[in-house]
Amino acid sequence: MLDRKLGVKISNKLLSNVTKKQIKLEIGRYIEEDPLIDNILKIWIINANERQIYERSVELDEYPGISVQLTLVPPKFFSDVIRGEINVPFWQVATVVRSLNLAHPVYDPNFFIEQHMDAVKNIKWSDELIEEKKQVTELLLQKAEKYGFDEDMLADGFMWAIKAAEEAICIPLMKKGLFGLSSPILLLDTLRQETDLYNFYLQLLGV
């Protein structure tokens, strides 16, 4: 794992490449400290001026061997997950919960990050939201069947099935409150390697 002081130093170095307008509208900034990764530094900047996610990888000559990922995101990206908004996709829930569990705030003048870090530790999903996830998954599976299903990553049916899987994974995890540090990510990786994906999705729906 990267030294925290080094991470802050690299974070400040990268900010010199961000426009003054973006810095002015910055709500908060944190470093994602992942104990499983020792050569990737993830820097998140929550920016009032952003309407969508802006992500780039940066290689710094001063720090060879360290891959830096800089992500600018709107506050809504985090707030929607905390509020349990119905239409928030699985990948966003998994990303936000995992990231905030690993967060080390670097700049947080209005305690936006701190409040969201506290909230995500006690996050609860309503029965209505879980049921909605189930319905979305079933619709996605129907699309997968419609377009044909095989294991060609370029096939439309397969891609719809992957989207269905991402929602289906939510169901048992939401019921048990198990959105932790890495469980959703590892489950998705396992799922994508399954040979009988379609039946696996149906099993998830029945959990």
Q: Give the model's pLDDT for residue 181.
A: 35
In this structure, which topology does domain 4-121 adopt according to CATH?
Beta Polymerase; domain 2 (3.30.460)
pLDDT value at residue 72: 87
Residue percentage of the chain with pLDDT more than 70: 57
**What pLDDT score does 74 carry?**
92
The pLDDT value given to residue 168: 66
Cα dihedral 35→57→45→86 (10° resolution): -80
Q: How confident is the model at residue 182 (pLDDT cuts 50, 70, 90)?
A: very low
Whats the size of the chain, residue-wise? Answer: 207
The model carries a pTM of 0.65
pLDDT in tens, 139-151: 777 776 776 655 5
The whole-number average pLDDT for the span 127-154 is: 69
Q: Which segments of the chain belong to CATH 3.30.460.10?
A: 4-121
Q: Which residues of 160-183 are buried (b: 16+ CB within 10 A; e: fewer)?
A: bbbbbbbbbbbbebbeeeebeeee
Mean pLDDT of the chain, nearest integer: 71
Neighbours of 18 (CB within 10 A): 14
- pLDDT for 185 beyond 60: no
Mean pLDDT across 37-58: 81
